[in-house]
Structure 1
Amino acid sequence: MPEPLTNGRIFRFWLPLLGTWMLMAIDGPLLTALIARMVDAKLNLAAYGVAFSFALVAEAPIIMLMSASTSLASNPLAYRRLRRFTAVLTSLITLGFLVFLIPPVYTLVMERLVGLSPAIANHTHWALLALLPWPAAIGWRRFYQGILIRSGQTPLVAFSTVFRLAGMAGCGFWLFSRADVPGALLGGMALSCGVLAEFVASRFLARRAIAGVLASPQAGEVLSYPALWRYYLPLALTPFITLGVQPLVIFFLGKGRMPLESLAVMPVLAALTFIFRAIGLSFQEVAIALLGRDLRGYLPMRNFAWGLALFASGALMCIALTPLAPLWLHQVSGLNPELVRFSRLPLILMALLPAGSVLSSFQRGVLMEGRVTRPISTATIVEATVIFGILTLLLLYSSWSGALCAAMAYVVGRLMAILWMVYPCRLVLAREAVGRSC
């Protein structure tokens, strides 16, 4: 008999994946803390925040490769097809990123369209050049980590991320010791070193899991390349739209009230929020792996998700509403007292985002196991539309700072996305219930 799907089993399976995301969550606070203690801190924090947002956009189409390999790589043919798919996808994205960084194209986008000042645009360009290996390294390590998750070897996923943190921290501190390296460039180079180290470690650690897949019987579901594309396209669009929101939010921040302050604090707030959002982000592959093909594990997974959501946002709210907030923002992140006061109210609003991450990850897991991926991307379109609409209204008709407007828009947008996916999830559950009864 299979082991019952208890809270303890879910927790043991999920905990290493949480550790993976927590280790990744250290990247942001560590690098922003280093940059905040270097020359021209405001300028370089702003440039690093812009560069990181655009790097995330470049990475967006391959983020869901971990979920795809967790769900689909069940036999040798499925594994090989998904591996070829990954090779093509990562190559195309890297080529597109390189074209974007050609000076005339870059200047047109960043200075004329986004509206960055020449100083911020120049620092951002150097940081993005350092981040050129980022998308491909992220894509391949997520592909191999999905294989590990499918085989139940989640501790190895966390172990591979230790190499990312070690590479990133080692490069960051070494460059910090050199007075001639701008802070934004330090951030880009450190991140690239980290993800390259993690990719190499993931491939090495996944060798036994890969051998197990290749030795398995040629049975189970195998999607054709057109079917694989139809399955993956909505998944690729989802993070692409989500992360594509970031540069446009930067555009709004640059046009809003107190633009330099808003651009300077948002990377710090995003880094702190990410630590708690990681609780939800790490839950998506858990849902895919443990729900089961017929979604028999829905009820225990749903109950666990609700408890996790309350814990994640409750913990961040405790920081936002207590003296822990200035301790983190000033002592750890290096913001001056003026920027600390400026950050408090946006942080309180953004404390609601971790709960939204847990619930949306669970909904996406249900839809992916039901092989219904289109509502995932349409929900993200709804979220982006709401964010832009609220930002436009608040920046035009309110006296709030750009950072506060962005925090409010993020929260309402995520709520609308969750509500959008409720009905498709119910349809999938009803279909699976009928299938089990037949």
Structure 2
Amino acid sequence: MDNIQKVKYKDIFKFWLPLASTWLMMAFEGPYLASIIARLPQEKFNLAAYGVALAIGLLAEAPIIMLMSASTAMVKGKHSYYDLRRFAIYLNILLTLIISIICIPQIFYFFAQDVLGLKSEVSKIAHIATILLIPWPAAIGYRRFYQGILIKNGKTKYVAFSTIFRLMFMSVSAIVLYNLNILTGAAVGTFSLSSGVIAEAVAVRIMANNIVKGIKQNEQDKNIPLITISKFYIPLALTPLIGLGVYPAVTFFMGKSIKSIESLAVLPVINSLVFIFRSLGLSYQEVVIAIISKNENNYKIVRNFAAFLGLFCLISMGIIAFTPVSHLWFKVISGLSDELAKFAMIPAMIMVALPASTVLISFQRGVLVNCSITNPITIATALEVSIIIASLILLIKFTLLPGAIIAATALVIGRSIASLFLFLPMKNCVPKNN
């Protein structure tokens, strides 16, 4: 990518494909682990507990996710590298401390039982599963910082290779623990996730070693004050923090909905399916940043590629949701019982547009980050979450729909409104003649 100024579709595809492969490999973690949990004892309770633990883990990692975008945009030489790395270390320590505090029994059970209203059988399983996620946020932050550096230097293939290590360690851990049968299904899932991401963090640091050496030799860039990094990063960090805060919120409302246990059990499985196609869009944000920053005239072709990608995601997700393939996915692949597989089908149909909307919002965010306008991204995410929560409250109070259907509907409404909101501020970032 370094030598590419005006790109073609094939250039975007070659640059995007390794990143998409990385996200796809991560996306298959969810269905894979859910299928293992579904085949272990107490399927319903363990799937529900795994969903709760994963929601907490995602919330804990949320502030660190955008480090990849930050390092892609900000690391230019020795001084900026050390400044942003120091910032990342502080953030990793803080998030590890927070998730450790959440795991204190008195705090966890108050949250799980008194706030979320979970049954004691689910909350006990979820507590152990969450403890096993304590290394998760710091490992995510470490590897995303160095993955951003790899992307900045056009080494997107290395990002994909590092994820292979993650999947290998995750798979080995899951298979061994499944056969030993010494942990609950939810604990098997979270331990496997943690072991995989730690392996990935080590691998990506090794792969970035030569690039980092070159960066350290470049002393022509300037130091970036902590306050400058914070002003740039905090709006970005708030975006996934607010966005991923949706999942604990949805979990909370599912505990108060009709068919709450069934809804908690199927939502991780449905979300895992949707995430497979959403991952294609999530991987596109760094592509937008990297390519448009090379040449503003690339805007139109990057936009068109996003349109093709969104259409592909919509059609692919639709084929699964609205055909007998859905039964194959939920029953045969995911291992759900007949009752839960049937229960999952309608929510999956409702969420069919979410992957395409993810492509759109990733494109919008990439354009805004490229011109250093990050506040609208935070506002849009806050708006999305507010709409989702309001929809959950209203639908649970005034309808008799099962919780999973209500959650799916609320997620689609919230994302649609957030995307509409970003069109106006994005207009200021569109290059002239595009």
**Structure 1 and Structure 2 fold alike (TM over 0.5):** yes
Within 5 A, what are the aligned runs for 1:243-392? 243-292=244-293, 295-392=296-393
Q: Distance in 2 between matches of 1:359 and 1:2?
A: 24
AA partner of residue 204 (structure 1): I
Does residue 94 of the first structure (1) align with residue 89 of the second (2)? no
Within 5 A, what are the aligned runs for 1:3-402? 3-219=5-221, 223-292=224-293, 295-402=296-403
Deviation at 1:110, TM superposition (A): 1.4
Deviations 1:197-235 (Å, cap 9, x if unpaired)? 00000100001121222223514x753211110110011
Q: Distance in 2 between matches of 1:357 and 1:223?
A: 31
Q: Distance in 2 between matches of 1:59 and 1:240?
A: 8
AA partner of residue 38 (structure 1): L
AA partner of residue 30 (structure 2): G
Deviations 1:346-388 (Å, cap 9, x if unpaired)? 1011111001111111111111110111111100000001101
The answer for the alignment partner of 2:426 in structure 1 is 425
AA partner of residue 423 (structure 1): L
Q: Secondary structure at the match of 1:351?
A: helix
Q: Distance in 2 between matches of 1:22 and 1:2?
A: 26
- Matched-pair contact (CA < 8 Å) for 1:51–1:124: yes
Deviations 1:27-48 (Å, cap 9, x if unpaired)? 1011100000010000000000
Deviations 1:155-190 (Å, cap 9, x if unpaired)? 000000000000100000000002232101101110
AA partner of residue 159 (structure 1): F
Change (3 A) 1:405 1:296: same
The answer for the alignment partner of 2:412 in structure 1 is 411
Gaps of 5+ in 1: none
More deviation in 221-230 or 157-166?
A: 221-230
Count of aligned pairs between the two proteins = 432
More deviation in 39-48 or 293-302?
A: 293-302
Deviation at 1:337, TM superposition (A): 1.4
AA partner of residue 97 (structure 1): I
Deviation at 1:2, TM superposition (A): 4.2
AA partner of residue 402 (structure 1): G
- Matched-pair contact (CA < 8 Å) for 2:6–2:298: no
- Matched-pair contact (CA < 8 Å) for 1:293–1:370: no
Deviations 1:63-115 (Å, cap 9, x if unpaired)? 00001001111121111110000000000110111111111111221111111
- When normalised by structure 2's length, the TM-score is 0.97
Q: Distance in 2 between matches of 1:131 and 1:181?
A: 14
More deviation in 62-71 or 207-216?
A: 207-216
Deviations 1:223-249 (Å, cap 9, x if unpaired)? 321111011001111101111110110
Q: Distance in 1 between matches of 2:198 and 2:304?
A: 37
- Matched-pair contact (CA < 8 Å) for 2:318–2:352: yes
AA partner of residue 138 (structure 2): A
AA partner of residue 361 (structure 1): S
Q: RMSD over aligned Cα, in angstroms?
A: 1.4
Q: Secondary structure at the match of 1:255?
A: coil
Q: Distance in 1 between matches of 2:154 and 2:84?
A: 19
Deviations 1:123-142 (Å, cap 9, x if unpaired)? 01100111100000000000
Q: Distance in 1 between matches of 2:4 and 2:136?
A: 40
AA partner of residue 54 (structure 1): I
Q: Secondary structure at the match of 2:297?
A: coil
AA partner of residue 39 (structure 1): P
Q: Secondary structure at the match of 1:428?
A: coil
- Sequence identity, in percent? 44
Q: Secondary structure at the match of 2:220?
A: coil
AA partner of residue 44 (structure 1): N
- Matched-pair contact (CA < 8 Å) for 1:147–1:206: yes
More deviation in 50-59 or 418-427?
A: 418-427
Q: Secondary structure at the match of 1:177?
A: helix
Q: Distance in 1 between matches of 2:110 and 2:177?
A: 30
Q: Secondary structure at the match of 1:105?
A: helix
Gaps of 5+ in 2: none
